Amino acid sequence: MTSPVTDDVLDAAKPQSHAFEADVAKLLHMMVHSVYSDKDVFLRELISNAADACEKLRYEAIARPDLLGEDPAPRITITIDADSNRLILEDNGIGMTGPDMAETLGTIARSGTKAFMDSIAAAKGDEQTQLIGQFGVGFYSAFMVASRVDVISRRAGQDEAAIWSSDGLGTYTVGTVSADEAPARGTRIVLHLMEEAKDYAQRYRIEQMVRAQSGHVPVPITLKDKPDAEGEQIADGTALWTRPKSEISEEEYKDFYRSVAGQWDAPALTLHYRAEGRYEYNVLAFVPESRPFDLFDPDRKGRMKLYVRRVFITDEAELLPRYLRFVRGLVDSADLPLNVSREMIQDSPILSTIQKGLTGKVLGELEKTAKNDPAAYAKLWDTFGAVIKEGLYEDFERRESLLRLARFKTTTSGGEWRSLDDYVAAMKENQTAIYYATGSDIERIAASPQLEGFRARGIEVLLLPDSVDSFWVRGGIDMDGKPFKSVTQGAADLSLIPLPEGAEASKAEASDEVSSFLAFMRETLGDAVSEVRASDRLTDSAVCLVASEGALDRQLEKLLANAGQAPAGAKPVLEVNPAHPQIARLASLPEQDGLRKDAAHLLLDEARIVDGEQPLDPRAFAERLGRLITRAAG
């Protein structure tokens, strides 16, 4: 290790070589190969440093306006030199002296920005400035793509300029340069690109990286195709989310939504606000009109972007719970601490605060829409309801709010969406539960024989066609003290609910003859069922299958079976309509008649088919059916 560099170094005729103040050979290798997983971030880091330099100049010029000279407007210029395989980034910010560069660039993780912020804090208490780099390592990401990096800089208000140069292998040099080789003020960074990184000397690549990662930094960015070419501004130094809502048109919101969401529809809802208090952050979020193509991605990742002081950090931070993953937009925080690479967010109470506040705001906006514009909300629910319902299973803290937001089609809604408040208000006399039926297709669910007794009494039943429905209803959930109960599970217990005026009760009592036939069926079917019993839920169909009181709902059993997790020993209950003519006819057959045994199996297979399953033994089913047809024809 060498002593800190002094002004004497710059008096030498030739640049002097120095060792980095760290075990740099190892540390730089770690920086290049471990800290950053994406090489593209090098440009974001250099732009962030340039923006910091412009902000430092703005701050110091408050006390010394002469530092701005005749060039007051901050700017960042990126120049592509494909012929020489170079990329050049220049700013007109505060600049550095030779000792500054030896101190800042010669010591890994000694951030000039951090020291500057510390000096401001000491002078002005808690006043915050919009500076990005706080770790002093982002600059070294340049060595991921460059075999040599030259930094030429002139400090504002000074005549001398200096150059810092290194190949990143353990040493650097610091020397002086002539005035015409340096910027009038600020810093020029020249990256001598590696052979494998020469595509970074292509305009399309650089422009895409700037727009994606640094398009909203508070300094305009200009891009030059060649060193002697005219520059084109590719970022104007503004961020839509920092402007007052009153100054932003609907068309501007729409254009921004399309850029951030990558979709061509329009936002159904726009949420734009600034959170103030202990932590401050800006939010600009959108609920799309149509489903994003990746809505049902197995990873269920959100697509909210995280910015820190207008610099893009990641789109993989969990800023919203997964059941709100259809929301698109961004959060921009000035307070969030980051790790050295800025690619992963540290475990922070600030992030938890943002997550909680943002989730509450999104749900609040949905509640407001449901109340003020039911038709618009019905469209939103039709598009995203299947995803929002995942929250009923996952988010216990907000379950009550989500239940109020939930909408359902029912046996009495005529295809329209109904809220649970509407359902509870319309419950029948003596009805103590919210009844539901699950399945994979709403029309098929509506045609289920298990619903017949409920329809006869005018009892509304929720029709639940989404896979998640079989899970959230089992979580001990209730609405205003009314539990949820499956129509395919346990006894229906409908006798206490009166029939509509003028309706006749079905003759559900089983005669001795029918009771004897049900006992015969139970013995014949053996282990295929757990019970055979007379049903009070059937009015038109002869048979149906239900789960026993303590077992899983029938649809949930199927989902688990398809996933190879069928519950051990699960057997259905076969319910038989004692008033059905078919049952009465079969019950009257002599005990020795072979058709009785075939009929028992055929009735079970009939119930399975209506329930969307195959007969237990397709070959035996065909043979029994054949014998029945032969007998009927004879």
The CATH code of the domain that includes 297 is: 3.30.230.80
| Placement of tokens 């000694």 in the chain | 110
CA gap 41, 343 in Å, rounded: 9
Average pLDDT over residues 160-164: 96
CA gap 308, 317 in Å, rounded: 12
Bridge partners for 16 per DSSP: 174
Of 209, 231, 253, the one marking the end of a domain is: 231
Residues 167 and 67 in one domain: yes
Which one, of 320, 322, 395, 389, lies nearest residue 361 by Cα? Answer: 320
CA gap 248, 264 in Å, rounded: 20
Confidence of residue 484 (pLDDT cuts 50, 70, 90): very high
Give me the domain span that covers residue 94: 7-231
Residues 216 and 256 in one domain: no
Residues 99 and 177 in one domain: yes
Average pLDDT over residues 142-166: 95
> What interhelical angle do 41-63 and 112-124 show, nearest 10?
30
What total of structural domains would you count in the chain? Answer: 3
Average pLDDT over residues 612-629: 94
Q: What pLDDT is stored for residue 502 in this prediction?
A: 62
Residues 57 and 159 in one domain: yes
Torsion from C-alpha of 206, 208, 209, 214, nearest 10 degrees: 110
- Report whether pLDDT(9) > 70: no
Mean pLDDT, the chain, integer:
88
Average pLDDT over residues 331-358: 76
Which one, of 167, 193, 142, 189, lies nearest residue 36 by Cα? Answer: 142
Average pLDDT over residues 454-464: 95
Residues 260 and 324 in one domain: yes
Residues 144 and 206 in one domain: yes
Confidence of residue 2 (pLDDT cuts 50, 70, 90): very low
CA gap 381, 387 in Å, rounded: 9
Of 374, 395, 426, the one marking the end of a domain is: 374
The CATH code of the domain that includes 53 is: 3.30.565.10
Residues 576, 547 contacting (CB under 8 angstroms): no
Residues 140, 108 contacting (CB under 8 angstroms): yes
Residues 261 and 134 in one domain: no
**Cβ-defined contacts of 399-403 (< 8 Å, 24+):** 399/477, 401/363, 401/367, 402/363, 403/477, 403/479
What does DSSP assign to residue 34?
Answer: I
Bridge partners for 403 per DSSP: none
The backbone torsions φ and ψ at residue 274, rounded to the nearest 5 degrees and listed phi first, read -120, 120
Query: Quick one: which H or E segment has residue 196?
Result: none
- 546: which residues sit within 8 A by CB, 6+ positions away? 450, 488, 489, 490, 537, 554, 572, 573, 575
Residues 83 and 165 in one domain: yes
pLDDT digits (tens, 9 = 90+) for 551-609: 888 888 888 877 777 676 678 999 999 999 999 999 999 988 989 999 999 999 999 99
| Placement of tokens 């002599």 in the chain | 590
